[in-house]
Structures are given as C-alpha cells and as structure tokens.
Amino acid sequence: MTQTKPHLLEVKNLRKYFPIRKGFFRRVVGNVRAVDDVSLFINEGETLGLVGESGCGKTTASRCIIRALTPSSGEINFRTDKGDTVNLARLSRPQLRPLRPQMQMIFQDPYGSLNPRMTLFDIVGEPLLVNGMTDRKQRTERVAELLKLVGLRPEFMQRFPHAFSGGQRQRIGIARALALHPRLVVADEPVSALDVSVQAQTLNLLLELQQRLHLTYLFVSHNLSVVKHICDRVTVMYVGKIVETASTEAIFRSPKHPYTAALMAAVPVADPRVKTGNVELQGDVPSPANPPSGCYFHPRCAFAVEKCKTESPVQRELAPNHFVSCHRAEEIKLEGIAA
Amino acid sequence: MTSQSPLLSVHDLKVEFPLDEGTVKAVDGVSLDVYAGQVFGIVGESGCGKSVTMKAMLRIVEPPGRITQGKILLRRFNGKDGDTVDLATLDPNGKEMRDIRGKQIALIPQEPMSSFSPVHTIGDQIMEAIMLHQTVSEKEARRIAGQLLRDVGIPMPEQRLDEYSWQLSGGLRQRAIIAMSLSCNPLLLIADEPTTAVYVTTQAQVLRLLRNLQLQRNAAIIFITHDLGVIAQMADYVTVMYLGLVVEQAPVDDIFHNSKHPYTQALLESIPTVNMTPRMNLPTISGSIPHPFNKPKGCPFHPRCPKAIPGKCNTHIPKLKPISEKQAVSCFLYHEEEIA
C-alpha cells in the first residue's frame, strides 16, 4: 500500500527442486521442479495471497520463505526488526535461530498441528520457553494474554486440544504463532479445514489481529473468495511458476493471464441466478517433474500460439505493480469478476 | 416435475448411535422427497447428519448405528409404476438390498483416491459392478466399461481400463468413479461431496459432467455438500440441515433469495463471496456447532440464534412445516401454533 517503504520480504528467483532418484546407486534421474524461478515481494503490514491448484508449489514456496525447507537457489531478502536486510536463503541453522521468532506459521489442519498430549499452556507456552522465558509465572501471564487475544478464555489453559472444536483449535494455533511477536505470518490454508460458519469468525480474527499487531501475512489458499476478502495483493502460481501478480482489485477486475481468468470463471458463485462455469479449463495440471515445453500453460490455453509452445514467457510489468508472464497479455481480452 | 410421485421419499427418519458415552441422534427426524430428473441438494456443516442420512438410504450405516424410526420409500423401476419398497425394513445384507445398492441407487463417494482398490485395474473394478447386476459376458462388460469411460470424457478409454487408480490424476479418478457409479443406469445417484478433494478447475469439469449426464439419463441426483457455491450452481431443490434436523427446504432460488430460517440466513451471510466488499468484517454465527453428546434442548440452533424466543425455542423442537407451496421451514418464528 505504502510504496515508499522498503519491502518486508523480497524473494528473487527462488527455486526448489526435489531430486528423483532411481536404481541401485540412487542416481538422480530428474528433478521435480516444485518451485521454479519465483520472485515476489511483500510490503510491511499487507497481506499477499498465494493462489494455485494443488501441486502448484504454493506450499513449498511458502515453506522455503520461512526456511522450513532449504531452497535450491535464489534469494530471500528479509528486513529484520533492526532494519537491516538479510538473505535467509544463505543462512545456516544457527544463524537463522535468532530470526525465527519474527517469522511464524499457521497451519491448515487444526487437528494435526496440535499435540494431543500437551495442554494449551504447554502448546502456546513452548515457543516462549524455547526462546528463554523460563519463569513459569511470567509464561502463564503471557499465555493468558495470548488466549484472550484470540478470543479464548484463559481458564482453558490446562485443558487438552481434544476438548476444543475445529475453530477453537485454529485459534490455539494462531495464539501459538503470535507468541513471539512475529512480523511475518505465513498462513497455509488456515480456514480450509473449518466449517463455513466458523471460517468467517477465523477470517475476522485474522483481519483484526493484523490491524492490532501490525502483522504481515503471506496467505496461501486455493479459495479465491477468501483470498479476495482478505488480501491486498494476489500472486497466482501454476506448476511452480508465478503467472500473475497484482493488487486484489486489479487481478479480479481485469486478469491478464488466461490461467487467472480461467480460475475465476471456475469459482461457483453462491447465487443460483448467476450461472458460472461457462469458460471451462480442459485437461489436467502437468506434472512438475515433466512440464511441457515453452509456457507451461500452453496445452490448456485457449489463446496459445506457436511461440507459446517453444518460448517460456518472461515476467513483465504490464501496468504499475501488475506483473504477468504471458506472451500475449497485451493482445488478449479477458473477463474478470466485477466487484 | 412435482406432478408425479417421488422417486425416493424419506419419512421421519431417525438414526441413532448407542455409544458408551450416550446415544448420538445423528439423524433426528428427517423427511424429504426426491423426484426423477431432479438435483436434490443437501447442505449442512459437519455433524449435521447429511452423510448419515445418505448412508441410511443405502443401508450402509456402520454399527452400532441403526435406523430407529422412519421409512425410506423407493419407487422401483422393474415393477409397475408406483411399486415402492421400504428400504428401512430390508435386511442390509440381504439379496434385495444388495440388488438395489449399486443398481438403482449408486454412490459417488467423496474420496476418489480411497474408493478404488489400488491392486485391481480400473477396468476390472467397473466390470465387476456390471457383471454383478447384469447378465453379460466378460467381453460385453468390458465393452460397456470402455463406453462408460468414454461417456465421462476420459481420453484413451481402452488403455485406461488396464491401468490402476494411482496412475490417474485426481480429475480422471473422479471421472472413473462416476463412470463406475453409472455402470448400471441407476435411477438415483448419491454424490457425497464429490468435488471436495479436487481443485476448482477440476471441480467445474466434474460438475458440468454430472449435469450433462443427469440430463441425458433423467436420473435424480442427491448432492451432498457444505459448499454453498456448488449448491447454487447445481441443485434444483435444497434441504438445509443442522444437527440432525432439517431446518429448511425450498427450491434453490428461494434458499438463496428468500430464506426464512435464521440458520440459513446466517450461513449465507457468513460466506465471503467474490462479489463483496473486501476486508469488511463478515457477519458471523456466534459460537460453534455443539458436540452431538450435548445437543441443546429445544431447537438445536437456539443458543446461536439471534431471533430465539425464550420459553419457546429453548424448550420445544419446532416441526418442519410448509410456509408456501414449495418451501418448508422448522422455526417458531413462522409457526403460530400453541405449545402444549
């Protein structure tokens, strides 16, 4: 939003390949290019949505960014709270340690991400303990504060996760992520596993916390309605590559990449008077181990020409802050969703 | 459409699970009518009993769950018109039920991955279903199976017959499941969250396929989902369930534009849609879905309901009553009758 500030996070040419090994000597016979030349930035205090089909590399990319995975190559420039910029991709584990509290993660599955044998106090207090808050009384106070922050009663502290519903569990996960005053929060599909009526509560909580604590979110999701609601800017990925990045408003109103437009046309609208699904994407997502030549989207693209089959498109800035990787972005006219 | 008698008619169905901790009334008096050629949507959040209702129709409720009350009347197609059978009285493992299951009522399950056996080829599994219900030779069954795969839009169907389920992508696997469920020309297809496991682009393909097949074959589809977007695009008639009860039944347009029950209204308001103002606070339903062991007394929705009437909603369960020709709702706001 405020363009004058330096970015909180800037990712340049990020790549993550997983080797495919075969035979007796486990020789590398190929690579799964889960993340293939991804560049993006996030401004402080904004929410960037990372959208794509399953298997497009959005989770791998987000995990590389917080260094849960080590990228194969590329830069991840993160501005620390002291104001200097470090390249996370190059740091060793001990070097990352002091930076970890600044980047936290909220997980998709509120059932799998909480240890059933730990109480809320242990779960939310563990990051505090690990980072040197050894005084139990102090920790109790902080955990109580965090639980209140996410809308849970501090009296619940000694209970176990099984006593809570899905929505409440997700709140526990959020409290744990916020324990160390993070600046960047990576939320990987945080509402996908929740019931519709509980999703709204969780989204409201995330928005409210962002304002109160001045958080920056990287919001990974496949649900375009949710992304439209919560994000300032959106990045669309397809088979490990970014196809389009723009402000939420611009990308929904006038998508420039045929894949983005197809995604939007596929979302079923919750109104029987609006018929959707007229533009339909044929075929399946190619495997990142054996992607097609040229533009990865060309076998499914209605606008593909000869050039698309041979030449991989380069990301261009079509309008201010509207980045597209498509040879024909200027010529073709695509329909978005009117706000 | 409504002039004929319903294909499947459920009357006051109750399914209970007697457990050590207490009895869970998963389905607590559900009534619905499904007509031929109709896409009948059942919407609800987790624990509302939509899947158990579906299982009761197929008589595959896992023990200790059992049907304690109610009728499930199916109009059979081999007899004369009007020849109905009450599925609730049949032996779940008996010949008659096994004959109906898969032939007249077919299921499209939620998980395309775990629904196929990984050690048998797709073709063998579809052929098994065909040969179980029809007296055809193996060669003929294989021909039908190939044709079915072609019908659902799988490229190179002859080769796919000899492949295993794990060799197919998610979208193709879901299509293969649909092909299998269509193998005996069922009158009624039950689709249990058929697109939850696939992505929106594949979902659009699968939904269109189902729509086309339904129009071609004039089958009825019971479409179970929690996704209101999918329901709006697919269903003709919608039933909204909450904690084992039907709260509202209406044609799809009325559900989305003229809903009466506070739960339906709240549910519709709480979903973010691509057309709304971003970043504003979503209206929410306060609280969360109660645990089935401690279901609230009275109307199950009253603790979360903004319009609950004290002394009425918290003590008595409202009955599902018609409020217009096509719409029925179970809420005291629309019932004037006195409570005894």
The size of the A-B interface in CB pairs under 8 A is: 150
Q: Are A189 and A227 in contact (CB under 8 A)?
A: no
Question: What string of H, E and C letters represents the secondary structure of A228-279?
Answer: HHHCCEEEEEECCEEEEEEEHHHHHHCCCCHHHHHHHHHCCCCCCCCCCCCC
Q: Decide if B275 and A200 are in contact by the 8 Å CB cutoff.
A: no
Q: Which residues of B touch A271 (CB under 8 A)?
A: 232, 256-257, 273
Q: Which residues of A touch B231 (CB under 8 A)?
A: 270
Question: For testing the chain A interface, which of B233, B274, B286 should be mutated: the one with the most A CBs within 10 Å?
Answer: B274
Confidence at residue A266, expressed as pLDDT on a 0 to 100 scale: 81
Q: Decide if B273 and A168 are in contact by the 8 Å CB cutoff.
A: no
- Out of B170, B274, B289, the one facing A225 most closely (by C-beta) is B274
pLDDT tens digits, B123-158: 999 999 999 888 889 999 999 999 988 888 888 888
pLDDT tens digits, B8-57: 999 999 999 888 888 888 888 899 999 888 999 999 887 788 888 998 99
Q: Which residues of B touch A201 (CB under 8 A)?
A: 284
- Out of B226, B256, B275, the one facing A196 most closely (by C-beta) is B226
- In angstroms, the separation between the Cα of residue B192 and the nearest Cα of chain A is 16
pLDDT grade, residue B78 (50/70/90)? low
Question: Is residue A206 within 8 angstroms of chain B, CB to CB?
Answer: no
| Cβ count near A332 (within 10 Å) | 15
Confidence at residue A166, expressed as pLDDT on a 0 to 100 scale: 84
Region B105-111: mean pLDDT is 85
Quote the CA–CA distance of B206 and B176 in Å, as a whole number.
11
Residue A8 CB burial class (10 angstroms; 0-12, 13-18, ≥19): buried
Q: What is the largest CA-CA distance in chain A?
A: 68
Q: Decide if A273 and B172 are in contact by the 8 Å CB cutoff.
A: no
Q: Are B295 and B277 in contact (CB under 8 A)?
A: no
Confidence at residue A283, expressed as pLDDT on a 0 to 100 scale: 74
pLDDT grade, residue B340 (50/70/90)? very low
Q: Which residues pair with A40 in a beta bridge?
A: A11
Q: Decide if B256 and A269 are in contact by the 8 Å CB cutoff.
A: no
Question: Is residue A200 within 8 angstroms of chain B, CB to CB?
Answer: yes
pLDDT tens digits, B287-310: 777 777 778 888 888 888 888 888
Q: Is residue B82 scored above 70 in pLDDT?
A: no
Question: Is residue A133 within 8 angstroms of chain B, CB to CB?
Answer: no
Question: For testing the chain A interface, which of B205, B279, B285, B289 should be mutated: the one with the most A CBs within 10 Å?
Answer: B279
Question: For testing the chain B interface, which of A197, A198, A301 should be mutated: the one with the most B CBs within 10 Å?
Answer: A197
How, if at all, do strands B105-108 and B188-192 pair? Answer: parallel
pLDDT along chain A (339 residues), means of 10: 70 91 84 89 93 85 91 92 88 91 90 91 94 91 94 90 87 94 92 82 91 93 87 92 92 90 83 72 78 89 89 89 90 73
ipTM of predicted complex: 0.72
Confidence at residue B250, expressed as pLDDT on a 0 to 100 scale: 93
Nearest CA in chain B to A195: B45
- In angstroms, the separation between the Cα of residue B287 and the nearest Cα of chain A is 8
pLDDT tens digits, B206-217: 888 888 888 888
**What pTM did the predictor assign?**
0.81
Where are the strands (E) in chain A, listed by range?
9-22, 27-42, 47-51, 73-79, 85-87, 103-106, 184-188, 216-221, 233-238, 241-247, 316-319, 322-324
Q: Decide if B278 and A337 are in contact by the 8 Å CB cutoff.
A: no
Q: Decide if A229 and B279 are in contact by the 8 Å CB cutoff.
A: yes
Confidence at residue B336, expressed as pLDDT on a 0 to 100 scale: 67
Region B225-251: mean pLDDT is 90
Q: Which residues of B touch A277 (CB under 8 A)?
A: 204, 207-208, 233
- In angstroms, the separation between the Cα of residue A178 and the nearest Cα of chain B is 21
Quote the CA–CA distance of A49 and A191 in Å, as a whole number.
13
Q: Which residues of B touch A165 (CB under 8 A)?
A: 288-289, 291
Q: Is residue B337 scored above 70 in pLDDT?
A: no
DSSP for residue B270:
H
Q: Is residue B2 scored above 50 in pLDDT?
A: no
Q: Decide if A280 and B268 are in contact by the 8 Å CB cutoff.
A: no
Q: Which residues of B touch A150 (CB under 8 A)?
A: none
Among B77-81, B191-195, B314-318, name the one with the lowest average pLDDT: B77-81
